Amino acid sequence: MSLITPREPVIAERFAQERFIATQQARQLRRWSELVVAAASSCGDRHAVNEDSHSDVSDGHAPVFIVADGVGGGVMAAWVSRHVVRRVQAALGKGRIDAQAVRNALLEADRDVARRVAKRTTGSGAATVALCAGTGSLLARWFIGWVGDCRVYRLAKADGETPELITRDDTYRNLGESPPAGGSPDDPARMVGNGAVGDPCVERIELGSGEALLLCSDGVYKHVSSDDMRQALATSEPLARRCMRLIEVAREHGSIDDATVLVVRRVARPRAALWKYACIGALALLFAVMLFAAASDAIAARPLVTATDVQSNLCREHELEH
């Protein structure tokens, strides 16, 4: 966010030297799909530390990815954004993901941040957040959740197409509410951590093979157009480098705020992998059928004992006894 944080806890001092663009990239292999995930984040000139945060793309967690932006007008902004990411990530990594699970994770993060901040200061801290969570064996269905003005875009399979904005900023203007004295209609009216979370927004979308989701903070999208975004991403460079380039474009256009980009690209596994699992399933079915047939033959080969046979055996036993 654009305001200066009045207080930052000691635990954030290790981030004080961030002035470069930090990047990550990883591949997550699932049974039927592969995710290529990359992120880039940079501290702006307004803060001593980066008050944005994002999911660690390399730790192999559940397919849940988050970008959070600490609200500068509150306390402990950097810590809050990182804690929101950790808290929501943990909540959605434990069980079935659906729209209500996403809402519950954001609401619980709001309460948890408020409790923890209250133990350290009388002020309040908060963050805006956007997330995406993949579901199903194919990871073709994704839930998009957000509170505040972090954004999520869909990127088409073909590089060079204009990104599609999925989220709608929770600003005072969009919500038809009046900002507080000194505030702007374009400031976020909803955030996680200070009780202003409201009812978190959740959408469900289908993500095709080759398509991607882009999550970013306002330090990026407020300074790049859709065409700028398209051009920065439409290259053959590694995905992390493209994320970095998008932040560089935002800086060239005057962004001095913290800036974060995270991209998740879904790719269906090659046909060879699908064929492998299909063959294993077919062999297992064939083996089961053969076992059933063998058992049936064994039963059919056994002699049939009738009531007459039983009576004859009893008579012979009686004659032997006498």
Condensed to tens digits (0 to 9), the pLDDT of residues 245-262 reads 999 999 999 999 999 999
- pLDDT at residue number 310: 46
- pLDDT at residue number 14: 37
- pLDDT at residue number 283: 77
Is the pLDDT assigned to residue 66 strictly greater than 70?
Answer: yes
pTM tops 0.85, yes or no: no
- pLDDT at residue number 279: 63
C-alpha R_g of the chain: 29
- How far is C-alpha 171 from the chain's CA centre? 23
3-state secondary structure of 265: strand
- pLDDT at residue number 31: 83
Comparing C-alpha atoms, which of 269, 265, 267 is closest to residue 39?
Answer: 265
HSE at residue 164, side-chain half, CA atoms within 13 A, is 12
3-state secondary structure of 202: strand
Is the pLDDT assigned to residue 304 strictly greater than 60?
Answer: no
- pLDDT at residue number 266: 96
Q: Token pair 């994770």 is at which residue?
A: 105
pLDDT tier for residue 168 given thresholds of 50, 70 and 90 = very high
What number is the average pLDDT over the span 142-151? Answer: 98
- pLDDT at residue number 15: 38
Q: Measured between alpha carbons, how far is residue 248 from residues 106, 217, 227, 228, 241 in Å?
A: 30, 14, 15, 11, 10
What number is the average pLDDT over the span 219-227? Answer: 96
Distance between CA atoms of residues 104 and 5, nearest Å: 28
Least confident of 1-10, 15-24, 178-187, 206-215: 1-10
What number is the average pLDDT over the span 101-109? Answer: 98
Is the pLDDT assigned to residue 312 strictly greater than 70?
Answer: no
What number is the average pLDDT over the span 151-170? Answer: 93
Least confident of 94-108, 120-134, 215-229, 277-291: 277-291
Is the pLDDT assigned to residue 278 strictly greater than 90?
Answer: no
- pLDDT at residue number 23: 95
